[in-house]
Homo-oligomer: A and B are copies of this chain.
């Protein structure tokens, strides 16, 4: 995590599809991969400037009828090359970095009830996300013929679906488990 400057490749990846402004890059990320990736304007604009300097993207000012200027960026051949190199490189090892697990690991420091509340909140979020991914899946399966990209997008959505389904099942299990234990013995902190 952190060493590789993913933001630059995500930006290049989106520009490989179509020219965009910094603002639209942000919006696109929010509407597509926000579940797997985050970015802020504080990263996008300086990164676009750097990419331009290095010749990986080119900027064209687009003035509309009202005289408002938008900076539209397009990917160059060099940029495309670096993008492909990055995508083809071996995938970084993944790690589960969830607050819930860290806090649960130290769960003995608070009451069983508080731990259950934490898991319930997690459970609700997982349920919402699962629904969302299921809707995405339905939509995508209809659009599937249109472009090869949709197949890859679908695979990421399927990951989300299967992952959150497992998370939800775990949460139900964990809540049951702790509820039982809470009843069996009074607990140290109840």
Contacts and interface: CB of A to CB of B under 8 A. Distances in A.
A84 B88 CA distance: 45
Contacts of A174: 155, 158-159
Interface string A159-190: 11011011101100110011001000001100
Interface residue SS majority, chain A: helix
Contact of A105 (B90, B109, B122, B153): B153
Nearest to A149: B108
A16 interface: yes
A178 B148 CA distance: 11
A139 to B, nearest CB: 16
B101 A159 contact: yes
B10 A96 contact: no
Interface string A50-94: 000000000000000000000000000000100110111011111
B152 A105 contact: yes
Interface of A: 1, 6, 9-10, 13, 16, 32-33, 35-38, 80, 83-84, 86-88, 90-110, 114-115, 118, 121-122, 125, 147-149, 151-153, 155-156, 158-160, 162-163, 165-167, 169-170, 173-174, 177-178, 181, 187-188
